[in-house]
Structure 1
């Protein structure tokens, strides 16, 4: 897939897969990267119409996008997702691991770990053969998960915090392979992000936890956090570098060392 820059030269668009991209942070990250010239593959699990609307919005703004329905927690569905991208584009330049869950009312007890750890490493393993040298892998997480080994998680959020931290640790264990393949791996961690579904759910289950975070200062917006995720797809960071967005009280020397 190619595009033409201001000088008239033809350049290849990067192919970017964003999981859980039909709304929220994933959707906004898709908008940012498409505006910068990438082709974004908008992964969704159930909300096809929402993904189609986002892709149409991006196209109307002059960007390039396509949609891909897949439940990444299902191994067969995840494989079909990656195989479809390989067939359509021949490569995958950026993998953004944004999908997460575990607070759903009907979720099985092991669902959080299945999605936030096992699915992340499985999808990454499937994607590796299609990521060229210089490609980027970005794992999206929260301070409440990233710092969970040393700081208590909000009530009701513990399964997500533990499973997302387990997912981060499992991906960090893959850094030697990423390095061998000349791939960048960055973690982007944010405080509670204003306007996201997670914050709305926590406001119902543990409103004091959200109030406590707001007392520390303004929460990052979806736009701010999405821009940080997008920036991580081009930054020349050391393997495993963590980008922090908001929550300055988390970033004491002791907390950062333990994380």
Structure 2
């Protein structure tokens, strides 16, 4: 079982975040399951965790609001006594109903706001994990699908902004790790991209050799919460051969 007692997984009412939250709970971490709008889904994840003897609480919070990030921090401390882990999983930007610059507001500004809210309460020796995609991580060197371009650039901007906080995290011996994956089978993003650019996912599967499922990638994210790696480490899940080659690395 982990020495970590309390954690936050943003965007964890479904998909990769939900899988990650459940796996962390199995390691004895009390998890704040975060949702933006749909409480029933989050409550279902919490119930699943509790049925297995784990601890979790569902908290509705829009990370793009001033009060959203703080609500998650408060919930972790109040329910589990400490905050040791923050998994920055929530992302978006392909939605058409969320207003101007939503991708940048969520994928950069909200990520920084979440970490800034968490930092005063994060325990010494804690871990912060940022979840991204190869398409975003390598966007400065490798172009991506038109439909994903704005999201990719905003997520890379978020990663860069978070990396600038590494020295501040280091003052409390808190490590920062990036987990990057290819397109993930069965996610909303993959479904939307395939709808907007038919054949896109098949093309990525062929280029990569394999695309991870939600369950497989969530397991990799959870693993990096405990991995013995240096701060600033980037875990390229499933490899990223074609991206590395195209970027000259």
CA contact 1:90–1:130 (8 Å) conserved in 2 = no
**The one of 181, 199, 217 aligned to 1:225:** 217
- Residue 115 of structure 2 aligns with which residue? 124
CA contact 1:20–1:45 (8 Å) conserved in 2 = yes
Q: Deviations over 1:87-113 (max 9, x none)?
A: 333321100000001011212221110
CA contact 1:155–1:205 (8 Å) conserved in 2 = no
CA contact 2:142–2:246 (8 Å) conserved in 1 = no
Q: What is the root-mean-square deviation in Å for CA atoms of aligned residues? A: 1.7
Aligned ranges 1:27-176 → 2 under 5 Å: 27-176=18-167
1:185–1:13 distance in 2 versus 1, CA, 3 Å: closer
CA contact 1:143–1:250 (8 Å) conserved in 2 = no
Q: Deviations over 1:157-198 (max 9, x none)?
A: 111101000000000111111111100100000000111111
1:14 matches 2:5: yes
Q: SS of the counterpart of 2:57? A: strand
1:78 & 1:256 partners in 2: Cα distance? 37
Q: SS of the counterpart of 1:134? A: strand
1:82 & 1:64 partners in 2: Cα distance? 16
Q: How many residues matched?
A: 248
- Residue 206 of structure 1 aligns with which residue? 197
Structure 2 portions without partners, runs of 5+: none
Q: Deviations over 1:96-141 (max 9, x none)?
A: 0000010112122211100000000011011001111110000000
TM-score by length of 1: 0.90
TM-fit CA distance, 1:252:
3.0
